[in-house]
Amino acid sequence: MTPFGARLAAAVGERGPLCVGIDPHPALLASWGLTDDADGLARFTEACVAAFAGHIAVVKPQSAFFERHGSRGIAVLEELLSAFAGTPTLTILDVKRGDIGSTMDGYSDAYLGVGAPLGADAVTLSPYLGFGSLSSALDTAADAGRGAFVLARTSNPEGSEVQLAEFGGRSTAQAVVDGAAARNAAGIDSTGAPLGDIGVVVGATREHGLDLSTLNGPVLAPGLGAQGAGPGDIAAIFAGVRGLVLPAAARSVLAAGPAAVALRGAAESLRDELAAAV
């Protein structure tokens, strides 16, 4: 498969940088007139596929809102990922997995390997057992043409005590960025891809204080819309990025549902605002 970075660059070039979060939390299901169970979840995801597939570059399902419904919810998530897999729209599965040894290998098999049952184009990973603990996942992703977004500087206040802690003259968050940059440099050198496969997650609702100039990979930037960041904020906060930025919005788009045409219109309107600002 073509490397993830190359596919992402092409998708964004054709359909813009917006990443739409697919977050079927209970209040949203209720506002759509759906039941808070696997059946309501399935109807919700069908509308999202109809609205976004082939029209938006990237969608980001949040695994937790599927997992809360048990095995039937996971089955709906698997169907959702499969439905998008046959379209030009890429998927980032927001699972934030991170562990060591054989446990990390198990997560890699579930989400990143060739033929993975919950395979997405990319997943989110947590590096807080050390960036090196992610090696097997990143290797598995590369072998399958998939990517990963590693948590670096999140928007929640509690993250600061870990992410801004310094060791060896740099913050933990900067060490994560530098680790991703090193992986991307090696991958780009070997494949000639225009963009590395390893991205980082940096919240869009505050100044991040990171040097992203050598990343050569994508930045997933949650916080657009309902969380308070506007298109102009994205342009200002990420002005020095060498790579591409994927601003992510969920509630501000999904509030337009349940009609697929209204969902698509909300996403395309926000995408066009981003294009004008960035």
List C-alpha distances in Å: 48 to 9, 55, 174, 230: 22, 11, 35, 23
Rounded to whole angstroms, the Cα distance separating 59 from 220 reads: 11
Nearest to 245 by CA among 227, 220, 222, 228: 220
Rounded to whole angstroms, the Cα distance separating 29 from 34 reads: 5
CA-based radius of gyration for the chain: 18
Two tokens, residue 43: 């109807």
Handedness of CA 199, 205, 208, 214 (dihedral sign): positive
Alpha helices in the chain (DSSP H): 4-15, 26-31, 38-52, 64-67, 70-85, 101-111, 135-144, 160-163, 172-191, 231-237, 251-254, 260-277
Concerning whether 96 is annotated as a catalytic residue, the answer is yes
Active-site residue, from 43, 96, 206, 251: 96
Q: How many CB atoms lie within 10 A of CB 136?
A: 21
Query: Active-site residue numbers?
Result: 96
